[in-house]
Structure 1
Amino acid sequence: MKKIVVAGGGVGGMMSALLLSNKGFDVTLFEKESELGGRLAFTEHQGYKVDKGPTIVLLPEMLQQLMEEAGIGPEEYELIRCDPLYDIHFSNGQTYTKFANIKEQLMEIDRVFPEDHQNFIRFMDDMNIRFNEGKPRFLEQPFLNRWEAIHPNTLNALRKLKAFRSVKKQLDFYFENENMKTAYALQTLYIGGNPFTTPAIYSLVSFSEHQHGIYYVKGGYASLVKVFEKALKEKGVNVFKNTPVQAIGMTDNRIASVTAGEENIEVDAVVLNGDFPLAESLIKKPARTYQPSSGCLLLYMGIDGIYEDKKVHQFFMGDDFHLNMKQLFKDKTIPTDPSYYVFHPSKIDDSLAPEGKGVLYVLIPVPSGDHIDWDKEKEYLAEKVLSSMEQRGFTNLKTRTEWMQIRTPKEAMIEGLFSGGSFGISPSLFQSGPFRPQYQPHTEIDNLYAVGASIHPGGGIPIVMQGAKLLADGIEGKYLTRDVIRNESIKSF
C-alpha cells in the first residue's frame, strides 16, 4: 500500500486525506497547530462562539457532492438557505437587496436601479453561458503542463470568459448605474482581489450567488471540522496534531522521507497544505515571487440581544469605492472611508451565544504585508467602523457590546498566512487558471503535491475541496497507470 503524508490539516489537507484514503492509500496527516481546520476555526469567549474565517457558503451543490465523495453524507451537517442573500448599503442612503429568485431580483432592480432591468437579464444570460463553459475547463481540470497556459484552446477559453478584461470593465459593459456596478463587483473581495484589476472570469462569483444561492452551516462554518475529524477517524487516517513537518528528504528529485516530530518517515508521496508560498520552503527550491491577496481587520463580537431588522449578511459601502480599492491595493494604506461586511448569524442560529445574546463578525478589507503597525492602528480603525455601524442602523452597538476581539494581518502572518493575506495568493490574471500553482507544483519532483487556497483552482471552501479532488484523482491515476504497466511487464516476463 502506497504511503502518503499530508502536511497540514486545513480543509484541503483533510479533504485530500479522506479522498486518498477512499482510493486505498495509507495516509498520515500532520498538523502543526493543536486543532485541525486551518482557516476554518472558531474564536470563543464565555459562551460566545464566532467563525474566525469563512462565513458565506457558495456553490452548495459542489460542496455537498464533494463531501459525499469524501464519505460525508448530508445528514452529518445542516445547510440553511439565506434568502434574501444579503443587503448592500450605499453611502447615498440606497439599500439594494440581492435575492436568489430572479423575478424578485428584477422587482428590486426596478425599485432601485430601473435603468438596469434589461441589462441585468443580459448579464445573467451571458454569465450562464460562461459558467457552463468555464466550470469544466477551469474548475474541473488541472494545468500540469506549463505549455497549456499558452495553448490555443486555453487562450481561446480565456478570451471567451473575458479573462483579459477586469471585472469592473466588464460591468461597465453591462450596467449604467455605478452602484449597480459596485453591487456586482465587490464579490472579488471574497477572494482578496481588486475588482478594478481582477480578471472578469471572477464575475461568475456574483452570478453564482443568484444561480446557486448562499447558505449558512448550522453551528458555524467551522463546525465542519468536527465532521471531517470523525470521518478521518472512521477511515483510519493517522492524524497527529501539534506536529509540524520539519523537513523533507530528497533522493534523485523524489521525496524519500519526511521528518515530523521525532520521527523520520519513509513516504511514496507528500501533499503540502500550508499556505503554498510558505510551505514551498520545505523543498529547498529557489523562492518564487507571488502577489498576496488582501488582508482583513476582523472584529469578533458578543453583544446583548439580536438586531432583528438586520440580514445575516450585509455590506456597507463607503463614499468612493474606487478610492477605497486604490488605497487598499495600490497605495497599500488604511482606507480613509472603508467599505466593510457584517455577519450576524445569531439571526438564524441560537447556538452561538448565551440566551438573549448574539454575535457579530465584521470584516474590513485592509492591505496585506507587514508595513502597517497594527498594534497602533487597529483600535483606531475598529472604532471608526463601529461608529459607522451605529450611524447606519446598529443602534447603541458600542454599549451593547459585551466582548470584542480584533484580528489583524499581523496575527494572520504569525498563523502562517502568506504576507498576512487572508485568501492565499491574489487572483490576478497571471495567478489564475493555468498560471496558478497546480496540484503538482514542481513537475520535476515526481511525488510532491499541493492543495489549498493558493493552488488551482483557487480560494473558497468548495473550490479548495475541488482542488483536493483534482489532486486525489491525479495521484490515483498516476499510481494506477504505473501498476498496470508493472503488471503487464510481469506478464510479459
Structure 2
Amino acid sequence: MKIAIIGGGVGGLMGALFLTRQGFDVTIFEKEQKLGGRLTFVERDGFRIDEGPTIVLLPEMFRKLLGEAGISDDEYELLLCDPLYTIRYPDGKVYTKYPDIERQAAEVERVFPGEQEGFLKFMAEGRERFEIGSSTFLEHSFVKKSDFWTPGNVKKLLKLKPQQSVKKLMSNYFKDERLQLAYTLQALYIGGDPFNAPAMYSLVPFSEHEHGVHYLKGGYGSLIPLLEKELRKRPNAEIHTGCPVENIVVDDDVVKGIETKEGFQAFDGVIYNGDFPSITSVLPGQKEKEFVPSSGCVLLYFGLDKVYEDVNVHQFFIGSSYENHMKNVFSDKKLPEDPAFYTFHPSKVDRSLAPEGKGVLYMLVPVPAGSTVDWASETEWIDQIIERAEQLSFPGLKAATEWMEIRTPTDAEAFGLFKGGSFGIGPTLFQSGVFRPQVKPYKTQGLFAVGASVHPGGGIPIVMQGAKLMAEQVQSEFISEGSGPRWK
C-alpha cells in the first residue's frame, strides 16, 4: 500500500513512522527545503533557538508515543523545569508554579492567603476531569459522529463543563482575579481566549502541576532530526523536500494520487499535514468551510552576549489589563497598549544553544491573527515590550543583544498558517472534540488529515497523538488484498 503525506511537520513525520511500522510504503512531500513545519530553529552566528513551540507538556504521553514510533528514551533527554515558571503581575506581585502539590499549596497561601483550599480542590477535581478527557476524548477519533454522541460520552462530557469558559470554571476555585488568571492563561498555549475557551482546557494547568513542564535538551526543534533519522532508516519510507504538492487527485470520490511539478504520482491514500483549512487549495471542488483562527503571535528572538542566571526558563509578564488585552486580540483585532508577554530563556539549563558564555532569549506576545495590523509601522510598540522586559527581569537586555529577529502573523500566514494564527484553528467549543476536523475529514476514500487543526488538537504531544489516531484510521480502512486496497 502506497501512502503520500503532504507536509513534513510533526504530525506527518509521526504518521509516517507509525505507518511504516505497519508495513505501508510512505512518501513525504514537504514544500520547504527542510522538515519540521513550525517546529524548527532560528539559527544565526552559532546561536540556535526554537522558532515555535517551547513548552513540553504531557511527558509520559510524549515518551510513550515516541516509543511506539520506534524511538527509545535514550535518544533524547527531557529536563523537568523546576520551578515550572514565574508569573509577574503589574502590581509587583510574583507567583511561582512548582511541579509538586505541597510546594504549590504553600506558594498559593504565601502569595494569595486564604486560597489554598481552592487550589487543592482544583487539583483533586482536575484528576477526575483529566482521566475523563484523556480516555474518552484524547485517545479516540470521532470520524463517525455517532461514536461521540453516546449516553456515556455525553455524561462524561458534561463533567468537563464545556458550557463554561475556563475563566468561569476557575472563579469556582479562586476568589482573587490574579490567581484565576494564573490558571486560565494556558488557553493561550493553543491560541485560545481564556475568557471564552471551553472549561475542558483547564486540563492544561492541572497537567502542569501533575505531570510537570519539561524542556527537550537541545531545544524542541531537535525532535525533528530525531524523527527524520529514524524514518530514513526504513526502506519503505521516502522523503522529498522542496517539493510542494499542487493537487490531490480524486476520481469518483476515491483518492488516486497527487500532482507535483513533476506530474502525477499514484497513491492508494493521501494524508494532508498542512494547516487543515488550506486543504481546499490542493483539493479541487472541495467546498471551503468557515473556521475561526487561533490567536496570532509576535515572536522576538535574541542572541545575547550573556546568560541571565537568576531568571526562570519560562516567565509570564501580565500587562495592566489582561482582559482588555484578550479583547483586543480576539474581538477588536487591534494591538493592546500594555500587553502580557511570555519569555523563554533556555540557556539557563542548556549551554549548547549558543557560543560559550552567551545565551538565547525568546519573547512571545499574543496579538490578533489576520492582516489588521501593519507590522512595518509598529517598531515603537515592539521596542516598548523589550523595554518592559529589560526593566522587569532582564537588566541590560538591549546592551546584551548581539542580534534580534522578529516574526509576525504576516510571516505566519505567508508560511501557510491559517490567517496568520500560530496554533491552527482556535480552540472554541464548536472547533473542539467532535466538532473539530477529524483524521478522516471527508467521505472521500483514501483521504486523511493530521496536524494542530485536526482532532485532538494543538500542542506537540497532542499532534503526535493525532498522528497515532490517523495511522489507526488508515490501518482500519485499508485491508491488503492482492494488489489493491479494499475498503471496509
Taking structure 1 as the reference length, the TM-score comes to 0.96
In the alignment, which residue of structure 1 is the partner of 2:80?
A: 81
| C-alpha contact 1:254 1:445 (8 A) present in aligned 2 | yes
Structure 1 residue identity aligned to 2:418: F
How far has the Cα of 1:474 moved from its partner? 1.3
What's the RMSD between the two structures over aligned residues?
1.5
Structure 2 residue identity aligned to 1:18: L
| SS of the residue 1:250 aligns to | strand
Structure 2 residue identity aligned to 1:27: V
In the alignment, which residue of structure 1 is the partner of 2:312?
A: 311
- In structure 2, what is the Cα distance between the partners aligned to 1:268 and 1:123? 48
- In structure 2, what is the Cα distance between the partners aligned to 1:482 and 1:202? 43
In the alignment, which residue of structure 2 is the partner of 1:30?
A: 29
| SS of the residue 1:354 aligns to | coil
Per-residue CA distance 1:87-109 (angstroms, 9 max, x = gap): 00001111000001111101111
Structure 2 residue identity aligned to 1:26: D
- Once the two structures are superposed, the pairs formed by residues 70-149 of structure 1 within 5 Å of their partners are 70-148=69-147
- In structure 2, what is the Cα distance between the partners aligned to 1:66 and 1:350? 28
- Once the two structures are superposed, the pairs formed by residues 190-209 of structure 1 within 5 Å of their partners are 190-209=189-208
* Alignment pair present for 1:155 and 2:169: no
How far has the Cα of 1:374 moved from its partner? 1.1
| SS of the residue 1:351 aligns to | helix
| C-alpha contact 2:280 2:287 (8 A) present in aligned 1 | no
| C-alpha contact 1:158 1:164 (8 A) present in aligned 2 | no
How far has the Cα of 1:289 moved from its partner? 0.3
In the alignment, which residue of structure 1 is the partner of 2:244?
A: 244
In the alignment, which residue of structure 1 is the partner of 2:370?
A: 369
Which deviates more, 407-416 or 263-272? 263-272
- In structure 1, what is the Cα distance between the partners aligned to 2:315 and 2:397? 16
| C-alpha contact 1:162 1:199 (8 A) present in aligned 2 | yes
- In structure 2, what is the Cα distance between the partners aligned to 1:455 and 1:280? 15
| SS of the residue 1:135 aligns to | helix
| SS of the residue 1:114 aligns to | coil
Structure 2 residue identity aligned to 1:326: K
Counting matched residue pairs gives 483
- In structure 1, what is the Cα distance between the partners aligned to 2:339 and 2:331? 15
How far has the Cα of 1:149 moved from its partner? 5.3
| C-alpha contact 1:369 1:420 (8 A) present in aligned 2 | yes
| C-alpha contact 1:292 1:425 (8 A) present in aligned 2 | yes
In the alignment, which residue of structure 2 is the partner of 1:255?
A: 255
Gaps of 5+ in 1: 488-493
| C-alpha contact 2:81 2:212 (8 A) present in aligned 1 | yes
Structure 2 residue identity aligned to 1:269: G
Structure 2 residue identity aligned to 1:102: I
Structure 1 residue identity aligned to 2:354: A
In the alignment, which residue of structure 2 is the partner of 1:269?
A: 269
How far has the Cα of 1:145 moved from its partner? 1.7
How far has the Cα of 1:152 moved from its partner? 3.6
- Once the two structures are superposed, the pairs formed by residues 179-194 of structure 1 within 5 Å of their partners are 179-194=178-193
How far has the Cα of 1:393 moved from its partner? 2.3
- In structure 1, what is the Cα distance between the partners aligned to 2:14 and 2:381? 37
| C-alpha contact 1:30 1:260 (8 A) present in aligned 2 | no
- In structure 2, what is the Cα distance between the partners aligned to 1:289 and 1:482? 39
| SS of the residue 1:44 aligns to | strand
| C-alpha contact 2:450 2:466 (8 A) present in aligned 1 | yes
How far has the Cα of 1:319 moved from its partner? 1.5
- In structure 2, what is the Cα distance between the partners aligned to 1:162 and 1:11? 30
- In structure 2, what is the Cα distance between the partners aligned to 1:370 and 1:138? 34
In the alignment, which residue of structure 1 is the partner of 2:293?
A: 292
How far has the Cα of 1:151 moved from its partner? 4.3
* Alignment pair present for 1:336 and 2:337: yes
For residues 254 and 346 of structure 1, do their structure 2 counterparts lie closer, same or farther at Cα, with a shift above 3 Å needed? Answer: same
- In structure 2, what is the Cα distance between the partners aligned to 1:393 and 1:209? 23
Per-residue CA distance 1:36-66 (angstroms, 9 max, x = gap): 0001110111111110000000001101100
* Alignment pair present for 1:47 and 2:46: yes
How far has the Cα of 1:356 moved from its partner? 1.1
- In structure 2, what is the Cα distance between the partners aligned to 1:250 and 1:185? 44
- In structure 1, what is the Cα distance between the partners aligned to 2:4 and 2:480? 21
In the alignment, which residue of structure 2 is the partner of 1:490?
A: none
Structure 1 residue identity aligned to 2:460: I
Structure 1 residue identity aligned to 2:403: W
Gaps of 5+ in 2: none
- Once the two structures are superposed, the pairs formed by residues 388-399 of structure 1 within 5 Å of their partners are 388-399=388-399
- In structure 1, what is the Cα distance between the partners aligned to 2:481 and 2:383? 60
- In structure 2, what is the Cα distance between the partners aligned to 1:27 and 1:118? 53
- In structure 1, what is the Cα distance between the partners aligned to 2:160 and 2:416? 33
How far has the Cα of 1:30 moved from its partner? 0.4
Taking structure 2 as the reference length, the TM-score comes to 0.97
In the alignment, which residue of structure 2 is the partner of 1:428?
A: 428
- In structure 1, what is the Cα distance between the partners aligned to 2:165 and 2:184? 10
| C-alpha contact 2:17 2:231 (8 A) present in aligned 1 | yes
| SS of the residue 2:86 aligns to | strand
How far has the Cα of 1:372 moved from its partner? 1.1
| C-alpha contact 1:188 1:194 (8 A) present in aligned 2 | yes
How far has the Cα of 1:267 moved from its partner? 0.9
| C-alpha contact 1:148 1:434 (8 A) present in aligned 2 | no
In the alignment, which residue of structure 2 is the partner of 1:491?
A: none
| C-alpha contact 1:413 1:420 (8 A) present in aligned 2 | yes
